[in-house]
């Protein structure tokens, strides 16, 4: 390999003309081995000293090669490393947050020569080469204090290097050899030019990056939606290889919850995902600056930082302002801390919420995990019901399984000898839940009880599950807060599920005003759940007002009354719609029976079903 080829082997600056925000420093610096030089380099590898690198260093190597850490072209030399630790700057004065270093043992250091190359191996696989420009002693405690404070020695990477007896750091430009499709690169990191190409292909102008680890809470959703409202797309950076603490939800569950939020409640075609180092999400100004630099290299133009997780807002903003004089063009957006307000019935901030602090709900991560461990439901003020159930199931499985997590509850339902299918076979009809939802006074209970009579007299095992009845017994301990109402419906759904297992037709009559809560019950009951919308205008319901509730609500005697002071979310696509404004009771019953017959829920043919006198 001649000198010209050697020069082309290492980093190259790429001038981009994609019309997006320029990379930090103006150019994208990439450091991969060009295809035409690969054969010659592979031939030379056996002649080079061999350095083993860790999984984290392999990821750093790929990120440098891709241009994600532009303008760096390799692992830091001593001058660069010292400048970043002491001044949060590269030697030329450009602000920079975190060091990127390659650590070696004393034995490995003895094989290296400054000014010569070394081959980088991950296990038995060659992944790159480094031009050794510098070898210097590593002071682990000094780095730990500078970057992470008093607890720095427990930081994952530093602790791992200490355990591996790393004593020196090696600096110099690198050339990445591993194929991008290699199984070694398990995180499937997207390269900046690929992400930028996606942005240009979609015609997007503004891309936002939220500084959130695993967004799954309601407050996270609030921030994400605000970010998307002011941009064309979101770029979610996902932390990799972050270790869970004994008092936290395991990382795989958090990742699943985050993806569930995105897939179900966001336009997924406007959300891109990309793995990055977990260090970028530390609550330090250095980490926030580094995350913003990396995001700019990917073409993002906005960087959203929640104040609740930001280390020091003035210090962070000062650091960003300084970096703006050196090429940091991404716009920082500091988001005020969000919380759930009972009076607002939703997520709010200090700026948008007029209510007293006593109305604001804050639940810590420790309390959330404690609830999940004990089997208590997460309230809808924390997260959406489907996400809460997914987390609860995951934590329960981890506790009761062989995961090594302490505190398993050892709850294992006994396998019955009488299946639900056998019960349905003996009764001659299918088990099902007809969940009747609608405003108070719409006619739910009247229809439910008349339908129960018709089904019972035609030989069906049927029972009406009424909201008022449950509140006089099983749920008499519950009030009418948002959390209590959700719990009321959760319990009703669990009762309905037990009755399903008994092979019964359950007719449930609940206002159940919110789609998320009805979806929660649907998940509890499964495919045998049928949503029935008992539709009536608010005017008709107030005219009927059989319990005098609307009159009291209008007088302000009943707070959070559905239809008056609290919203009702009508079903979007119910399995059955009964319009009691236009239809008589008999017509509604006939329509219900016809629906059940067509759904295959009844025990006899339509002709044999006899109406009671």
CATH number reported for the structural domain that contains residue 11 in this entry: 3.10.400.10
Total domain count for the chain?
Answer: 3
Instruction: Label residue 316 exposed, middle or buried (CB < 10 Å: 0-12, 13-18, 19+).
Output: buried
- Same-domain pairing of 7 and 69: yes
Q: Is there a single domain that holds both residue 153 and residue 19?
A: yes
What is the pTM for the complete model shown?
A: 0.66
Whether 273 contacts 331, CB under 8 Å:
no
Regarding whether 375 and 230 lie in a shared domain, the answer is yes
- Specify whether 454 is located in the same domain as 600: yes
Q: Report the alpha-carbon distance of residue 148 to residue 160 in Å, rounded.
A: 15
Q: What CATH number does residue 233 fall under?
A: 3.40.50.620
Instruction: Supply the DSSP symbol for 348.
Output: E
CA 586 – CA 612 distance, rounded (Å): 11
> Could you tell me if 42 and 150 lie in one domain?
yes
The pLDDT value recorded for residue 420 is 67
Q: How big is the CA angle at 493 (ends 488 and 497), to the nearest 5 degrees?
A: 150
Residues 225, 124, single domain; the answer is no
pLDDT at 1: 52
**Domain presence at residue 405:** no
413 in a structural domain:
no
Report the 10 Å Cβ neighbour count for 356: 9
* Residue 510 belongs to a domain: yes
Which pLDDT score is estimated for 591?
95
Same domain, 213 and 104: no
Instruction: List strand residue ranges (DSSP E) for 151-218, in order.
Output: 168-176, 207-210
- Whether 72 maps to a domain, the answer reads yes
User: Reduced to 3 states, what is the DSSP secondary structure of residue 480?
Assistant: coil
CA distance 70 to 290: 11
Strands (E), 336-403: 338-341, 346-349, 360-361
Task: Give yes or no: 512 in active site.
Answer: yes
- Are residues 91 and 166 located together in one domain of the fold? yes
Pairing between β-strand 117-122 and β-strand 125-131 as defined by DSSP bridges = antiparallel
CB-CB contact of 146 with 85 (8 Å) = yes
Same domain, 501 and 576: yes
ω into 71 cis (within 30 of 0): yes
44 domain-assigned: yes
Tell me, yes or no, whether 125 and 221 share the same domain. Answer: no
Of the residues 176, 207, 233, which one is the last residue of a structural domain? 176
Tokens standing for residue 486: 């959700």
**Any domain includes 147:** yes
Residue in 521, 587, 271 with CA at minimum distance from that of residue 385: 521
Which residue out of 301, 381, 512, 566 is catalytically annotated? 512
Same structural domain, 458 and 529 = yes
Domain-located, residue 532: yes
Single residue among 345, 367, 400 that ends a domain in this structure: 400
Residue 605's pLDDT is 45
**Among 142, 176, 210, residue at a domain's last position:** 176
Asked if residue 54 is part of any domain, the answer here is yes
- Give the mean pLDDT per block of 10 residues along the chain (613 residues): 60 86 94 90 94 95 95 97 97 96 97 96 94 97 92 89 96 89 76 95 96 94 95 95 73 92 95 94 93 97 83 84 96 91 86 88 86 79 88 79 45 49 78 93 91 92 88 85 87 92 92 91 90 91 82 80 83 93 94 92 59 54
Q: In which domain, by residue range, is 169 found? A: 3-176
Indicate if 122 and 36 belong to the same structural domain: yes
């Amino acid at each position: 390999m001649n000198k010209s080829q050697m020069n082309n082997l290492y980093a190259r600056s790429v001038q981009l003309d994609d019309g997006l925000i320029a990379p930090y420093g103006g150019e994208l610096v990439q450091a991969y081995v060009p295809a035409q030089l690969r054969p010659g380099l592979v031939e030379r590898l056996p002649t080079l000293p061999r350095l083993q690198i860790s999984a984290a260093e392999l990821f750093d190597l790929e990120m440098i090669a891709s241009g994600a850490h532009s303008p760096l072209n390799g692992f830091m030399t001593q001058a660069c490393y010292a400048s970043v630790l002491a001044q949060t700057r590269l030697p030329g004065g450009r602000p920079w947050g975190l060091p990127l270093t390659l650590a070696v043992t004393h034995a490995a250091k003895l094989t290296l020569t400054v000014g010569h190359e070394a081959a980088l191996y991950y296990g038995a696989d060659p992944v790159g080469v480094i031009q050794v420009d510098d070898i210097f002693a590593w002071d682990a405690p000094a780095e730990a204090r500078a970057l992470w404070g008093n607890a720095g020695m427990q930081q994952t990477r530093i602790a791992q290097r200490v355990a591996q007896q790393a004593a020196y750091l090696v600096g110099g430009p690198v050339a990445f050899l591993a194929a991008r499709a290699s199984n070694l690169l398990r995180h499937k990191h997207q390269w900046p030019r690929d992400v930028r190409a996606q942005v240009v292909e979609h015609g997007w102008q503004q891309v936002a990056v939220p500084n959130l680890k695993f967004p799954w809470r309601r407050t996270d959703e609030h921030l994400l939606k605000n970010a998307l409202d002011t941009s064309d797309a979101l770029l979610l950076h996902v932390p990799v290889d972050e270790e869970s603490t004994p008092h936290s939800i395991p990382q795989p569950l958090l990742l699943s919850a985050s993806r569930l939020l995105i897939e179900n409640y966001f336009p997924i075609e406007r959300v891109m995902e990309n793995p990055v180092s977990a260090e970028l999400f530390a609550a330090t100004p250095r980490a926030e600056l580094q995350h913003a630099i990396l995001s700019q290299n990917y073409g993002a133009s906005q960087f959203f930082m929640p104040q609740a997780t930001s280390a020091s807002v003035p210090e962070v903003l000062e650091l960003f302002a300084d970096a703006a004089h050196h090429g940091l063009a991404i716009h920082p957006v500091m988001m005020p801390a969000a919380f759930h307000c009972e009076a607002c019935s939703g997520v709010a901030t200090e700026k948008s919420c007029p209510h007293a602090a006593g109305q604001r709900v804050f639940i810590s991560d420790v309390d959330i995990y404690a609830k999940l461990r004990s089997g208590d439901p997460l309230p809808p003020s924390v997260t959406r019901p489907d996400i809460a159930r997914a987390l609860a199931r995951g934590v329960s499985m981890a506790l009761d399984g062989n995961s090594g997590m302490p505190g398993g509850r050892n709850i294992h339902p006994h396998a019955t000898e009488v299946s639900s299918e056998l019960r349905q076979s003996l009764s001659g009809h299918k088990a099902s839940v007809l969940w009747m939802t609608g405003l108070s006074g719409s006619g739910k209970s009247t229809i439910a009880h008349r339908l129960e009579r018709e089904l019972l007299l035609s030989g069906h095992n049927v029972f009406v599950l009424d909201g008022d009845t449950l509140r006089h017994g099983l749920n008499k301990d519950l009030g009418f807060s948002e959390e209590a109402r959700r719990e009321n419906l959760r319990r009703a759904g669990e009762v309905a599920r037990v009755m399903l297992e008994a092979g019964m037709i359950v007719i449930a009559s609940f206002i159940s005003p919110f789609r998320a809560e009805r979806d929660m019950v649907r998940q509890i009951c499964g495919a045998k759940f049928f949503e029935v919308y008992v539709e009536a205008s608010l005017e008709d319901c107030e005219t009927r007002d059989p319990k005098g509730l609307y009159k009291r609500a209008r007088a302000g005697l009943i707070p959070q009354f559905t239809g008056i002071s609290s919203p009702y979310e009508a079903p979007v696509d119910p399995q059955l719609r009964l319009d009691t404004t236009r239809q008589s009771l008999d017509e509604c019953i006939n329509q219900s029976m016809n629906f059940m017959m067509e759904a295959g829920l009844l025990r006899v043919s339509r002709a044999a079903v006899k109406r009671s006198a």
